[in-house]
Structure formats: C-alpha cells, structure tokens
Amino acid sequence: LTTTTTAANTKAMYGRLDARQRQIIAEKRFAGRLTARALIDLLGPVARFEAAAARSRASLLKWMTGGIIGTVATGFLALASGAGVVLLPLPLAGIAVALGAGLRYRRLQKLDLSNNLGGLVMPLLAVLREETDPAREVEIDLDLRAPTAPEKLVDKQPLRHYGGYEVVDSLFRDAWMSGSAQLHDGARLGWSVVDEILEQKRTKRNPRGKVKTKTRYKKRSLMKVAVALPDASFALAAAAPTGGDSVGAGAKVRVQAGEGAQTIKLGRVVKSTSLEPPDARGLIDLLAAAYRRVDPRQGAPRP
C-alpha cells in the first residue's frame, strides 16, 4: 500500500510539472539564462520530483524482490502440499506484484536524474538568489545524466586479474555544471564543477559456480570559482586570512589584478567513495574564501 501511495504521489508530482520541466527530465540537460528566482521556480519542482522518484524506485525494488521471493516460496508450497490448484493464486499474485513493481521501476528509471540537482545546484541557486539583483540573470549549464553514462566514459582499462578477481577499471569525466552571474555588489562570478570517477568492477566466481560482481567508485570533484571584485568597492585584505578559511589545505588560490577589478580564482578537490553529490558547502566555502580576501573599500559607492 505504501508503495502504491508513494508511486501515485510521484506520478501526481510528474503530472504537475510543466512542459519545460518535463523536457529537462527527458533530456537530462539544461542550459539557459534566467534570474536565480526563476531558476529555482523551474528546477525546484524537478529536484523534488527526482527525490520522490528515488524513494519510489527504492520502494519498488523491495516489492519486486518480495514478489519474486513470494512467488518461489508459495510455488514451492503449492507443489509440496499437493494442493496446487487451491494455492495457485498465491504464486500468481507474487508474479503480478513482481511484474507490476518491475514495470513501474523501469518507467521511473528512465526519468532518473543525477542527484547533483538537489544536492548542490539548488543550494547554490538559493544563495545566488540572495546575492543577485532580482532582475539580473544567472547563466547556468547543467548535465544531469548519470555520472557513469556511456557518453562520459573517457578510458577503459583492459581486463586484469587481481586476488582471484577479474578487474575492469573505467574512468568517467562528468563536467556537469558551469555558470556565471553578476552579483549585487558588482562582482562577477564564474564557477564550474567537474567530477572524475574511477569505477572498478570486480568479478569473482565462487565455489558453487555463482558469479558475483562488486562495483566500487572513487570520485574527485574539481570545483573552481573565479570572482572578479571591482576595485571601486573592494580592496585586497592586507593579510591573507588565517584559520577558519574552510576551503582546506589542498585548495589553490590565485589573485590577479585586472582592469578595474581584482580576480580571485580558487579551486579545490573533494574526494569521495560514492557517486553521491559533494556537499554544496564545498562550493559556498570557495566563494566565501574569495570574500575573505577582500575588505570593503573606505568610502566606496554602495551598490
């Protein structure tokens, strides 16, 4: 019943999406210029649908497994008890449950988007809504296909043997977000996030002849931010911030003087062993690190 309710809610959520939002889900890509508020209005329901669909898929997977186990168990019982005709509806019901859940799962799987949308894009847009003028547009380019989609494969190592396993390493490069915006204080912001994913598939045949495959991931998320802060409003701080910078020891920072602005470029790598999105805090810390390196200039015109 819970699954039916969850799946029905997910379907209802999909029904409430407009044509443009459905197009984003179908294409799994979005590139455009809109105000931060309009981007949140456009992508927020898509992110909420994706989260609900993920919950539905997890639930349907359980029902599919339960249906298969139920079919086998009740089928065995029907045969063993000799009352096959009487008990026949039970394995048939199991088949129906497994099939129904499987078909729904497959439909929802086609609509699957990268978790990066809800995990990182939406918090970033919420911060940009505060930082940009309501009429000023933000440019954003999103690739919401799965990080290990075949199109993102850049290298596949030949099969090797290691510790009784057959091992295949694949490297994926997922340049899934870039964007730019002008902030209310006159600063120009550009950012990008690129994930490099090493997928390792280890296959082993156990003594009973059953083949088992384990998949492991190592991910490096390369986050880059450049903030051009106008000289009229900001001056470089006399000393680089010490302590509490939050960007980590491995972060790279570079400051360049340009025409009428200081451009602060920052980059960092966030490592993980799953495909889950990096915490939005990583990107927000980079932006904050740029602002930590300047002070408001005395007597500057207020934006």
Residue 266 is a binding residue for other proteins (CB under 8 A): yes
Q: Report the residue number, 87 or 255, with the smaller CB distance to other proteins.
A: 255
Which one, of 264, 229, 263, lies nearest residue 247 by Cα? 264
Contacting residue, 38, 77, 126, 168, with other proteins by CB under 8 A: 126
Residue 48 is a binding residue for other proteins (CB under 8 A): yes
CA 149, CA 170: separation in Å to the nearest integer?
Answer: 11
Q: Report the residue number, 112 or 185, with the smaller CB distance to other proteins.
A: 185
Stretch that binds other proteins, among 87-95, 144-152, 164-172, 230-238 (CB under 8 A): 230-238
Stretch that binds other proteins, among 12-20, 66-74, 208-216, 247-255 (CB under 8 A): 247-255
**Neighbouring residues of 295: CB distance < 8 A, sequence distance ≥ 6:** 234, 235, 236, 237
Q: Which residue has the tokens 């009352």?
A: 83
Q: Burial level of 106, CB count in 10 A (0-12/13-18/19+)? A: exposed
Residue 102 is a binding residue for other proteins (CB under 8 A): no
Q: Burial level of 42, CB count in 10 A (0-12/13-18/19+)? A: middle
CA 187, CA 197: separation in Å to the nearest integer?
Answer: 33
Contacting residue, 18, 130, 151, 259, with other proteins by CB under 8 A: 130
Which one, of 219, 79, 97, lies nearest residue 152 by Cα? 219
**Neighbouring residues of 174: CB distance < 8 A, sequence distance ≥ 6:** 143, 147, 152, 194, 195, 196, 197
The contact mask relative to other proteins for 180-219 (x = CB under 8 A, - = no) is xx-xxx--xxxxx---------------------------
Using CB under 8 A, list all residues that contact other proteins. 33, 40, 44, 48, 122-123, 125-127, 129-131, 139, 141, 178-181, 183-185, 188-192, 224-226, 228, 235-238, 240, 243-244, 246, 251-257, 263, 265-267, 281, 284-285, 287-288, 291-293, 295-300, 302-303
